[in-house]
């Protein structure tokens, strides 16, 4: 093979690789943006709480109402990225609720403790 054919082939492969990576990145960004509008129903949220470690579950499957383009629903990169982002978002939102409950219980316990100490000091 001559040097020009070899160099032309290498340049074409590099350009194709760069174009493919750019399209993959844009599909992933679209999936992440679409997953921000995703919410689990009450029934699916109960199922999620039972089995928290399954990000590839059908619970996080993108639907036409959430997807920015229906043609993306057939793209495996979009579906995988959407499921991962929706799983992370749901897990994060659920964890915030648990942290709030722990904070409220700690605050209430502190108020009760201070009240008991105050009552004990008044009786002396």
pLDDT digit string (tens) for 1-18?
A: 577 776 677 665 554 554
Whether residue 85 has pLDDT greater than 50: yes
The Cα 45–Cα 91 span in angstroms is 10
Domain residue ranges in the chain: 3-98
What DSSP letter does each residue of 7-47 carry, written as one string?
HHHHHHHHHHHHHHHHHHHHHHHHHHHHHTT----HHHHHH
First to last CA, the chain: 101
Residue 26 confidence (pLDDT): 85
C-beta of residue 94 within 8 angstroms of C-beta of residue 49: yes
Extract long-range pairs of 79-82: CB within 8 Å, 24+ residues apart. Answer: 79/31, 81/27, 81/28, 81/31, 81/32, 82/31, 82/32, 82/34, 82/35, 82/38
With a cut of 50, say whether residue 102 has pLDDT above it. Answer: yes
Render pLDDT for 21-66 as a digit per residue (tens, 0 to 9): 447 788 888 888 888 888 888 888 888 877 777 766 778 888 888 8
Q: Given pLDDT bands bounded at 50, 70 and 90, which one contains residue 19?
A: very low
pLDDT at position 101 over 80:
no
């Amino acid at each position: 093979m001559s040097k020009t054919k070899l160099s032309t082939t290498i340049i074409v492969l590099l350009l194709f690789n760069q174009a493919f990576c750019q399209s993959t990145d844009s599909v992933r960004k679209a999936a992440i943006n679409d997953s921000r509008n995703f919410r689990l129903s009450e029934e699916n949220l109960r199922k999620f709480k039972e089995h928290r470690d399954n990000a590839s579950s059908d619970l996080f499957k993108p639907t036409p109402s959430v997807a920015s383009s229906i043609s993306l629903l057939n793209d495996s990169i979009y579906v995988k990225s959407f499921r991962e982002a929706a799983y992370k978002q749901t897990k994060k939102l659920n964890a915030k609720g648990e942290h709030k409950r722990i904070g409220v219980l700690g605050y209430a316990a502190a108020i009760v403790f201070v009240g008991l100490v105050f009552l004990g000091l008044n009786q002396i």
